[in-house]
Structure 1
Amino acid sequence: MVMNFLSWGTFDCGQIVLLNALKILAVIYDVVTLPVYLIIQNPWKARRLNSMKKAIPIDQDDKSITIKATKKPGRFHIELEEAKIDTMAKLLNYAQQKHGDKQCLGTREILREEDEIQQDGKVFKKYIMGDYQWKSFNEVNDEALRFGRGLREMGNEPGKNVVILAETRAEWMIAAHALFKQTIPLVTVYATLGEDGIIHAFNETEVTTVITSFSLLAKLKNILPSTPRVGTVIYMEDQLESLKTTEGFSDGVKIVSFGHVLNLGAKSTIEDRSPTPEDTAIIMYTSGSTGIPKGVRLVHRNMITSVKGFADSTEMYERTEVVLGYLPLAHVFELLVENGVIFMGIRIGYSSALTMLDSSSKIKRGVPGDVSVLQPTFMTSVPLILDRISKSINEKVAKSSAIKRTIFNFAFEYKLRWKQLGFSTPLIDRVVFGPVKKIMGGRLRLIAAGGAPLTPETNKIVKMCLCTDIIAGYGLTETTSCATNQDTFDLSFGRAGAPMTIAKIMLVNWEQGNYFITDEPNPRGEIMVGGDNVSPGYYKLPDKTNEDFFEHKGCRWFRTGDIGEIHHDGIVKIIDRKKDLVKLQAGEYVSLGKVESQLSTCPLVESICVMGNSSKNSCVALVVPHHDNLLALAAQKGIRAGVVDVLCKDSRMLDAVLEEISGHGLKGKLEKFEIPTRITLLPQPWTPETGLVTATFKLKRKAIQDYYENEIENMYASLD
Structure 2
Amino acid sequence: MSDTQTLIENRPPSVAALFLERVAATPDAEAYRYPVPPASGEGPDGWKSLTWAEAAIRVRAVAAGLVSLGIGAEERVALASSTRVEWILADLGILCAGAATTTVYPSTNAEESTFILSDSGSRVLIAEDAGQLAKARDRRADLPELRHVVVIDAADVTEDDGDPEGWVLTLAELEERGAAELAKNPGLIEERVAAITSDQLATLIYTSGTTGRPKGVRLLQDSWSYMAKAIAATGLVRADDVQYLWLPLAHVFGKVLTSGHIEVGHVTAVDGRVDKIIENLPVVQPTYMAAVPRIFEKVYNGVAARARAGGAAKYKIFLWAAEVAREYAKASQDNFRRTGTASAPLALSAKHRVADALVYSKLREAFGGRLRAAISGSAALAPDIGFFFAGAGVHILEGYGLTESSAASFVNPGEAYRTGTVGKPLPGTEVRIADDGEVLLRGPGIMAGYHGLPEKTLEVLEADGWFHTGDIGELSADGYLRITDRKKDLIKTSGGKYIAPAEVEGQFKGVCPYVSNILVHGGDRNFCTALITLDEAAILDWAKEKGLSATSYADVVAAPETVELVEGYVKQLNEGLQRWQTIKKFRLLPRDLDIEHGELTPSLKLKRPVVEREYKHLIEDMYAGTREA
How high is the TM-score relative to the length of structure 1?
0.77
Change (3 A) 1:106 1:642: closer
CA offset at residue 175 of structure 1?
0.9
CA offset at residue 613 of structure 1?
3.5
Report the residue type matching 1:262 in the other structure: E
* Partner of residue 583, structure 2: 676
Q: How does 1:211-250 map to 2 (within 5 A)?
A: 211-214=126-129, 216-217=131-132, 220=135, 224-225=139-140, 227-229=142-144, 230-237=146-153, 242-243=155-156, 245-247=158-160
Q: How does 1:633-652 map to 2 (within 5 A)?
A: 641-649=550-558, 652=560
Whether 1:129 aligns to 2:82 is: no
Task: Specify the SS of the correspondent of 1:606.
Answer: strand
Report the residue type matching 2:589 in the other structure: L
In 2, Cα distance between the equivalents of 1:413 and 1:502? 39
Q: How does 1:655-666 map to 2 (within 5 A)?
A: 655-656=563-564, 659-666=567-574
Whether 1:142 aligns to 2:63 is: no
Task: Specify the SS of the correspondent of 1:698.
Answer: coil
In 1, Cα distance between the equivalents of 2:503 and 2:108? 26
Of the three residues 174, 178, 188, the one matched with 2:93 is 178
In 2, Cα distance between the equivalents of 1:244 and 1:562? 44
In 1, Cα distance between the equivalents of 2:358 and 2:562? 41
* Partner of residue 425, structure 2: 499
In 1, Cα distance between the equivalents of 2:554 and 2:207? 33
Whether 1:337 aligns to 2:247 is: no
Of the three residues 439, 448, 455, the one matched with 1:536 is 448
Task: Specify the SS of the correspondent of 1:533.
Answer: coil
Report the residue type matching 2:482 in the other structure: K
Task: Specify the SS of the correspondent of 1:489.
Answer: helix
Task: Specify the SS of the correspondent of 2:621.
Answer: helix
Q: Deviations over 1:258-308 (max 9, x none)?
A: 111000000114634231100000011121344321110000111111222
Q: Deviations over 1:101-152 (max 9, x none)?
A: 11111111211345xxxxxxxxxxxx42343211111121221111111012
Report the residue type matching 1:685 in the other structure: D
CA offset at residue 252 of structure 1?
6.3
Change (3 A) 1:648 1:428: closer
Of the three residues 477, 482, 486, the one matched with 1:568 is 477
Whether 1:703 aligns to 2:610 is: yes
Report the residue type matching 2:432 in the other structure: M
Change (3 A) 1:215 1:623: farther
* Partner of residue 286, structure 1: 207
Task: Specify the SS of the correspondent of 2:132.
Answer: helix
Change (3 A) 1:470 1:108: same
In 1, Cα distance between the equivalents of 2:48 and 2:523? 55
* Partner of residue 452, structure 1: 379
CA offset at residue 452 of structure 1?
1.1
CA offset at residue 385 of structure 1?
0.9
Task: Specify the SS of the correspondent of 2:13.
Answer: coil
* Partner of residue 353, structure 1: 273
8 Å contact kept, 1:193–1:694: no
CA offset at residue 251 of structure 1?
6.2
In 2, Cα distance between the equivalents of 1:402 and 1:507? 48
Q: Higher Cα Rg: structure 1 or 2?
A: 1
Of the three residues 220, 240, 245, the one matched with 1:325 is 245
Of the three residues 194, 198, 202, the one matched with 2:117 is 202
Change (3 A) 1:491 1:308: closer
Change (3 A) 1:295 1:605: same
CA offset at residue 210 of structure 1?
0.8
Of the three residues 502, 505, 521, the one matched with 1:611 is 521
Q: Deviations over 1:649-697 (max 9, x none)?
A: 45x4575255234223224x22233233333322322222221110111
Q: Deviations over 1:502-543 (max 9, x none)?
A: 211111111xxxxxxxxxxxxxx1100111111111111100
Of the three residues 37, 59, 65, the one matched with 1:110 is 37
8 Å contact kept, 1:199–1:226: no
Unaligned runs of 5+ in 1: 1-70, 115-126, 359-368, 511-524
In 1, Cα distance between the equivalents of 2:562 and 2:316? 31
Q: Deviations over 1:604-642 (max 9, x none)?
A: 32112222231x212232222233554577689997544
Task: Specify the SS of the correspondent of 1:550.
Answer: coil
* Partner of residue 403, structure 2: 477
Task: Specify the SS of the correspondent of 2:156.
Answer: coil
* Partner of residue 25, structure 1: none
Change (3 A) 1:129 1:633: closer
Task: Specify the SS of the correspondent of 2:149.
Answer: strand
Report the residue type matching 1:644 in the other structure: Y
Count, aligned residues: 600
* Partner of residue 596, structure 2: 689
CA offset at residue 591 of structure 1?
1.9
CA offset at residue 184 of structure 1?
0.9
How high is the TM-score relative to the length of structure 2?
0.88
Please, which moves more after superposition, 224-233 or 600-609?
A: 224-233
Change (3 A) 1:317 1:185: closer
CA offset at residue 236 of structure 1?
1.2
Q: How does 1:560-599 map to 2 (within 5 A)?
A: 560-599=469-508
Report the residue type matching 1:592 in the other structure: P
Q: How does 1:257-296 map to 2 (within 5 A)?
A: 257-268=170-181, 269=184, 271-272=188-189, 273-274=192-193, 275-296=196-217
In 2, Cα distance between the equivalents of 1:236 and 1:640? 47
Task: Specify the SS of the correspondent of 1:613.
Answer: coil
In 2, Cα distance between the equivalents of 1:375 and 1:78? 34
Give the root-mean-square deviation of aligned CA atoms.
Answer: 2.8
Report the residue type matching 1:448 in the other structure: I
In 2, Cα distance between the equivalents of 1:692 and 1:432? 35
More helix by share: 2
In 1, Cα distance between the equivalents of 2:561 and 2:51? 56
8 Å contact kept, 1:106–1:348: yes
8 Å contact kept, 1:104–1:346: yes
CA offset at residue 702 of structure 1?
1.9
In 1, Cα distance between the equivalents of 2:274 and 2:552? 26
* Partner of residue 717, structure 1: 624
Higher relative contact order (CA 8 A, sep 6+): 1
8 Å contact kept, 2:224–2:259: no
* Partner of residue 545, structure 1: 457
In 1, Cα distance between the equivalents of 2:112 and 2:27? 40
